[in-house]
Chain A
């Protein structure tokens, strides 16, 4: 999440009310449970909500190819600010909204 969050660790406050009442929107930084390791909680930025058409660069290290996808119902598309080194929706696909923690 460089340059927004530091490499060596930031202490942040995250509120848990917005995900419950559905007030999470593109541009928000959120904590989500990782879909590949349920014990891990990652910090990413929301790029698109359900129904949005998201255009993303597939592999910025190797090519400039970009792809467009419609976010399925009940899911969100999240990406790290540092797309060169981030495991996010470009790798795992859209995340279910239920995995949002804060």
Chain B
């Protein structure tokens, strides 16, 4: 009687171990996908209006393009902020290294525009809503190494489900 209980417990333990291995494998798969392939991001804030909503959009961003250097002007990207390393911001790439970028310095107060050549290894990013966006006009060109991912699809809100535009409106 005691021996049968032991056998039951043993098979139960083996089953539990197998299931937890399965869970562990799934979590590993999820982690690798999230880090190297495709990640999910919640974007909020006014800096990318009208492309992205104020109250928050759920977007999919792939991580392969930044690695192979296939990020170009017009792409919406996730970038680690140069002023707060714990924060990842969503902006649009306006110019890559070597490009001559003309930007309006302070659209709220004046029409003055400035031209700058993007240094080697850097990119120039701007929000679509230049009236309310902290971007390269404020903190300068950001090093390419801070690029995290390239946004390609929007999941939420459901009415905006679909690919995210390549061209700025």
Residues of the A chain whose Cβ atoms lie less than 8 Å from the Cβ of B80: 96, 98
Q: With A and B bound together, what is the CA distance between A74 and B142 in angstroms?
A: 12
- Residues on B with C-beta less than 8 A from A72 are 83
Answer whether residue A26 sits at the interface, using C-beta atoms and an 8 A cutoff.
Answer: no
Picked from A37, A75, A97, the residue with its CB within 8 Å of the CB of B121 is: A37
The reply to whether B146 and A96 form a contact with Cβ atoms under 8 Å apart is: yes
In contact, B121 and A74 (Cβ under 8 angstroms): no
Q: Mark B92-126, 1 if CB is under 8 A from A, else 0.
A: 00000000000000000000000000011110000
Q: How far is the CB of B95 from chain A (nearest CB, A)?
A: 16
A–B Cβ pairs within 8 angstroms, 29 of them: A33-B143, A34-B121, A34-B145, A35-B122, A35-B143, A36-B119, A36-B120, A36-B121, A37-B120, A38-B143, A72-B83, A73-B83, A73-B84, A74-B81, A74-B82, A74-B84, A74-B85, A95-B143, A96-B82, A96-B85, A96-B146, A97-B85, A98-B80, A98-B82, A98-B85, A98-B146, A99-B143, A99-B145, A100-B85
Size of interface on A: residues with Cβ below 8 Å to B: 16
Interface band, chain B: 10 to 19
Q: Which B residues are CB-close (under 8 A) to A96?
A: 80, 82, 85, 142-143, 146
CB-based contact A35/B121 at 8 Å = yes
Contact B83 A38 (CB under 8 A): no
Contact between A38 and B85 (Cβ–Cβ < 8 Å)? no
A-contact bits for B46-80, CB 8 A (1 contact / 0 none)? 00000000000000000000000000000000001
Inter-chain residue pair count (beta carbon < 8 A): 45
Interface of A with B (CB < 8 Å)?
33-38, 72-75, 95-100
Chain B, residues 131-169, CB within 8 Å of chain A (1/0): the string is 000000000001111110000000000000000000000
A35 to B80, CA, bound (A): 14
B122 proximity list for chain A (CB < 8 A): 35
Alpha-carbon distance between A36 and B146 when the two chains are bound, in angstroms: 12
Alpha-carbon separation in the docked complex, A100 to B145 (Å): 10
